Amino acid sequence: MSETTSDADPAEHEPDGPVEPLELLLDYLKRARGFDFTGYKRSSLERRISKRMGMLELGGAGTYLDYLDYLEVHPDEFSALFDTILINVTAFFRDEDAWEWVAREIVPQLLVLRRTDAPVRIWSAGCSSGEEAYTIAILLAEALGRDQFLDRVKIYATDVDEDALATARQGVYEAQQVAGVPEVLLDRYFDRTGGRFRFDTALRRAVIFGRNDLVQDAPISKIDLLLCRNTLMYFNAETQARILGRFNFSLDGNGFLFLGKSEMLITHTDLFTPVNLKRRVFRRVQSASLRDRLLVADRTTDGNAGQLGLAMRESGFDAAPFAQVIVADDGRLVLANRRARELFALTGEDLGRPLKELGLSYRPLELPAAIEQAANDRRSLTRGPVAWTTAEGEAVELEVLFTPLFAGAALLGVSIAYSDVTERQRLRDELDRVRHELETSYEELQSTVEELETTNEELQSTNEELETTNEELQSTNEELETTNEELQSTNEELETINDDLRERSGDVDAVNLFLETVLTSVGVGVVVLDTERKVQVWNAHTEELWGLTSAEVGGERFFELDVGLPIDQLKTPIREAMRDRSFRADVTLAATTRRGRAIECTVTVLPLAVDGTDVSGAVLLMEVRGEPTNGPVG
């Protein structure tokens, strides 16, 4: 995850009045590392941050302010915190039914709406480790074929998590991560190397990964299909609305938006209309705009203003009923249609001259500032109405539309169109007069209107209650989905820990088997006691001598055992061995084997201690004197 250094002081810019500790922490994260989490749902943030705080030693019950102090002292903690907050739960063909429908219905529509040579632009917003970006790449490659895919498709995959993006850029996944990919597609689009799967290198070049904060950064434009699945549910309603507004701007024409299964857009029908609500696929709602391309023009190679004006002046432009001029990006007037020449007394000699040298530059309004704003903002803007008197002495009202002209990404100039809105203004004045007369008549209907308004308010109140209920249900659904993904993430962590424990348990079993083999092979009885004189080890040779199995004596007090060995005579040497790391004693005792045979048994008593530690018990070695080493005892 990307980090930037900062000397930000959490006390800087602290607002007046009391502020919740969590808000102070979020403000510090924004100023210190540029991550703005203020638009995230507070309940989700509290769970994720508390989970991270619980992993640290903060001296008791740590608060958000304690954690803020910890972040100031330990800058490496930022990465761990962001990894915890940004839950990266994703998969290939996640929600398989929805992907099948997109492949069957949406992808063919995208290709029909585009010319055979037109580019297809996809944006995977909140792509995490890249699985969904590669999923749509597979579907488009299946629909277009490899060659057409490489020539036409660009997939932009963005996220705020730099670590997840690093994984996505590699395009290498474990076997369990590609489990959702059908076998035939897995063989076709992945290379298997040592149990791992790498996405096709050639097709990978069509997928462009980069960091983009949906809350702060500018959106990618001219997108045909936008994937943003189970990302919006982490943001509050205000932030969701802002992001969806940017998505509406990003999509080209009637582009498609593909969301996660918990995201329904109930309250954003002005931006998107459902195509298939069950699969969470929506289509962009186009909004009215003043941006119109009035003219397509190219510069001539010699730069002659007369030739440029001649190339741009077409019959339709010259015969337009409204006045229109075009100013090149270097500030020269390069075109003026017939109506403009008549209205502003322009001549052919004025074409090619700097606009600032002409009276048109400031009459009927100042043009340079508006031209600069339209060019910088790369969008149309309107000024006026302004008053103007024609050469015939007629007073008119003009509304002025500034439209930047482009050839691809290059700015050619700005079109300035003067619309005569005199009649519209006259009609507006007449309408005001009529409206005044109608308002006078409304007094007789006031009682009826008030009753209707009361009824309408009651209906509106009921509608608002229903909308509130819908939003609460939506919020609850999103919370459940968030919790489910957190549980899935936790379950994956537990499975990893369980695999580690299983492997360690196998290692311990192997060591125990090896130790048991060694103890059986030494040819003498071996007994290990802990500091409470309880039996910990009782090998097979000891079982053969005294007739008790290790299962019978394990954990029992040694001096309470009933065997043919006078155990009481070993109390003193065992006690000394427990005290002295260097102690050793050989005690020969008359004993009776499990079969009743009298023997002499030499017992060697040694302390049990690991290098550098205290004595933790005693070891007894029991050897029968005069017994054959290759035969059974007794």
Q: Whole-model pTM?
A: 0.52
C-alpha 66/C-alpha 84 separation (Å) is 18
Q: Return the pLDDT at 1.
A: 35
What's the pLDDT score for residue 287?
56
Residue 444 is predicted with a pLDDT of 72
Mean pLDDT along residues 294-304: 33
Residue 150 near residue 156 (C-beta atoms within 8 A)? no
High-pLDDT (> 90) share of the chain, %: 29
The two domains 305-420 and 522-624 share their CATH topology (first three levels equal)? yes
CB 189 within 8 A of CB 203: yes
**According to the model, what pLDDT value does residue 632 have?**
42
Report pLDDT digits (tens) over 55-106: 886 644 578 888 888 888 888 888 788 777 777 778 999 999 999 999 999 9
Sheet holding 585-592, edge to edge: 535-538, 525-530, 617-624, 598-608, 585-592
**Overall CATH class of domain 96-284:** alpha beta
Residue 147, phi then psi, degrees to nearest 5? -65, -50
Residue 306: the pLDDT is 37
Do 236 and 479 form a contact (C-beta atoms < 8 A)? no
| pLDDT value of position 93 | 94
pLDDT (0 to 100) of residue 609 = 83
Residue 489 has what pLDDT? 85
SS3 sequence, 333-391?
EEEECHHHHHHHCCCHHHCCCEHHHCHHHCCCCCCHHHHHHHHHHCCCEEEEEEEEECC
Q: Phi/psi of residue 321, each to 5°?
A: -75, -10
Banded pLDDT at 454 (limits 50, 70, 90): low
How far apart are alpha carbons 477 and 482 in whole angstroms? 9
Q: Which of 185-189, 581-585, 627-631 has the lowest mean pLDDT?
A: 627-631
- Which pLDDT score is estimated for 137? 96
Of residues 550, 518, 539, the one with CA closest to residue 621 = 539
Contact (CB, 8 A) for 359 and 348 = no
Q: Which residue has the higher pLDDT, 514 or 180?
A: 180
The residue among 401, 396, 412, 413 whose CA lies nearest residue 342 is 396
- Sequence spans of domains, the chain: 21-85, 96-284, 305-420, 421-512, 522-624
What separation, in Å, do the N-terminal and C-terminal C-alpha atoms of the chain show?
72
Tell me which range, 149-158, 226-235, 292-301, 344-353, is most confidently predicted by mean pLDDT.
Answer: 149-158
Whether 261 and 280 have beta carbons less than 8 Å apart is answered as: yes
Taking a C-beta distance cutoff of 8 angstroms, is the pair 336, 310 a contact? Answer: no
For 305-420, CATH number out of 3.30.450.20, 1.20.1730.10, 3.90.440.10, 1.10.3720.10 equals 3.30.450.20
388 vs 628: which has the higher pLDDT: 388
Residue, of 10 and 198, whose pLDDT is higher: 198
* Cα-Cα-Cα-Cα dihedral sign, residues 141, 144, 145, 149: negative
Structure confidence by residue, pLDDT tens digits, 151-179: 999 999 999 888 899 999 999 999 999 99
- Whole-number pLDDT of residue 605: 93
> Above pLDDT 70, what percent of the chain?
86
The domain made up of 522-624 has a fold known as: Beta-Lactamase (3.30.450)
* Beta-bridge partner residues of 534: 557
620 in Cβ contact with 603 (< 8 Å)? yes
Mean pLDDT of 272-293: 72
Give the span between the Cα atoms of 312 and 341, in whole angstroms: 16
Mean per-residue pLDDT over the chain, rounded: 81
Q: What is the pLDDT of residue 19?
A: 55
Which contacts qualify for 289-293: CB closer than 8 Å, 24 or more apart?
Answer: 289/380, 290/380, 290/381, 290/382, 290/401, 290/403, 291/379, 291/380, 291/403, 292/380, 292/403, 293/403, 293/405
Condensed to tens digits (0 to 9), the pLDDT of residues 350-388 reads 777 888 888 777 778 888 888 888 888 888 888 878 888
Residue 305 has pLDDT above 70, yes or no: no
How confident is the model over 487-525, as pLDDT tens digits? Answer: 888 888 898 899 888 888 887 777 767 777 777 667 789
